[in-house]
Chains A and B, each alone.
Chain A
């Protein structure tokens, strides 16, 4: 059986900085893969390359066996790969409901002009999704009035609304208050498991990684330094020194 996502030999340099220097990674269907590593290691670059925002200078990426390198973000989304963002990308002048409904509509095709966005079918699906993320009470709040944690969740909800088979999340819990973090992640995992979505997420909080990842990939200077089960990776002294060392107590990561 082929991997859901298969990257081979990805290379990309910004000037002298090698953001990807020969990345080989297979993501299996149904797994939750965490990406950890110091800032500047190229974690976000990997997501950007996979989703078509950046074009690698070398290598291949295949999704479900089909090469997706060089496709636009729009085409890649169409194939079933969605993403969320480190800085939430919301439509700031729309409400939470409208944001999520627009994602639902985007999945169904936006080319209808005679029926409203908040037609019953879209509204119900969006409301249901919002409820699953525990955001019902902010349904009608404008996105620019939300706190960071809520924005993050809405951002992910919009990606989930696209019903992807693979979801890439860039630091899903950064900015979320520590007290709420675990509950939110629980919800997230439940929602994704229910939906049968494969997930790749960049994370700095080792507690989150330890609890939810099936596998962990450690990034270092544009390469995968280590790859394996959470228990093995998180206890690796080399990883502890280079990655976890600069992210004490999980969460607030110091400047690199």
Chain B
């Protein structure tokens, strides 16, 4: 698919989100969460390009969400909290990245999982500070000095999420076609060759890893601003699994995939939960299975193959 049609598709999607959010008020919340998760999955997509799967990116999600929750006590300004949370996620991503980029495949995935589970335990352990599984409620937050609350607040967060999604999507789109992005894809197929071309695959992967941590950080901050309540469950391994699930559901072929996947995932879950409250997991599992077996390119793959056929 050409760059132009992808751009058009993205803009059409953004308009659709706004229309839906206007027409169906309760969807504002769901769509904001979907956009946030899409942002985090965009980072997963970067790592998937290198053939690596992280089962621990919920760590950055939770880290940023807690940063917002704790930071809001000191500085209740969302436009400062958001970049601060993402920055912190990036810094921690750099430190952890220096360690994990030495590993590949299952070891890479498992180390990420282990570290996120350690963080989960820490959140539970420092219970006097974090209230453990009960989580903490965000204090009132402002945007440009105005309180972030009520319907205006919901629109504001949705708007921020949408702008971030478009910006990060465009940036990742450009970066993937750049030498660095193509070298990243080279890690998947022939990592050693990169070394023999004078390029350090570890550093290339580290760059992608830090970027993915930053995007997961944005996602976590938006989730915190939307749900207004953060719990350690954000860093549990199933949350990380969910991100990978969304990546495959949406399709790894385009930066639109994560957002399509996240929207489909959230809506399927809400719909399944509303229809089969005690078997929604089963429905999600069947959907995932069907996508993998019949449409390995994910939703994005379905759309493009249809276009090609037409």
Contacts and interface: CB of A to CB of B under 8 A. Distances in A.
A118 B178 CA distance: 8
B220 interface: no
Contacts of A83: 196
A114 B186 CA distance: 18
A78 B197 CA distance: 8
Interface in A79-106: 82-83, 89-94, 98, 102-103, 105-106
Interface in A108-128: 110-118, 122
Contacts of A90: 189-190, 193
A131 B22 CA distance: 57
Contact of A102 (B182, B188, B195): B182
B175 interface: yes
A102 B189 CA distance: 13
Contacts of A74: 195-196, 198-200
A107 B198 contact: yes
Contacts of B183: 102, 105-106, 110
Contact of A91 (B174, B190, B195, B200): B190
A91 B185 contact: yes
Given A102-B186, A162-B197, A110 B192 contact: no
Interface of B: 174-175, 177-183, 185-186, 188-190, 192-200, 204
Contacts of A73: 195-196
Contacts of B190: 89-92
A77 interface: yes
A159 B193 CA distance: 10
B196 A114 contact: no
Contact of B178 (A91, A103, A117): A117
Given A74-B195, A82-B196, A113-B174, A105 B179 contact: yes
Contacts of A51: 196
Contacts of B178: 112-117
8 contacts: A74-B196, A90-B189, A91-B193, A93-B188, A107-B197, A110-B199, A113-B174, A116-B177
B198 A106 contact: yes
B182 A94 contact: yes
Contacts of A91: 182, 185-186, 189-190, 193
A249 interface: no
A117 B182 contact: yes
A172 to B, nearest CB: 15
Contact of B189 (A92, A107, A113, A158): A92
A248 to B, nearest CB: 33
Contacts of B185: 91, 93-94
A158 B188 CA distance: 18
Given A91-B189, A92-B189, A113-B180, 5 more contacts: A74-B199, A77-B195, A93-B188, A94-B189, A113-B181
Find the residue from A82, A83, A89, A114 having the highest chain B CB count within 10 A. A89
Find the residue from B175, B188, B196, B200 having the highest chain A CB count within 10 A. B196
A154 to B, nearest CB: 11
A214 to B, nearest CB: 25
Nearest to A109: B179
A94 B204 CA distance: 17
B189 A77 contact: no
Contacts of A162: 197-198
Contact of A89 (B174, B175, B179, B193): B193
A57 interface: no
A59 B228 CA distance: 65
Interface string A149-172: 000000000110010000000000
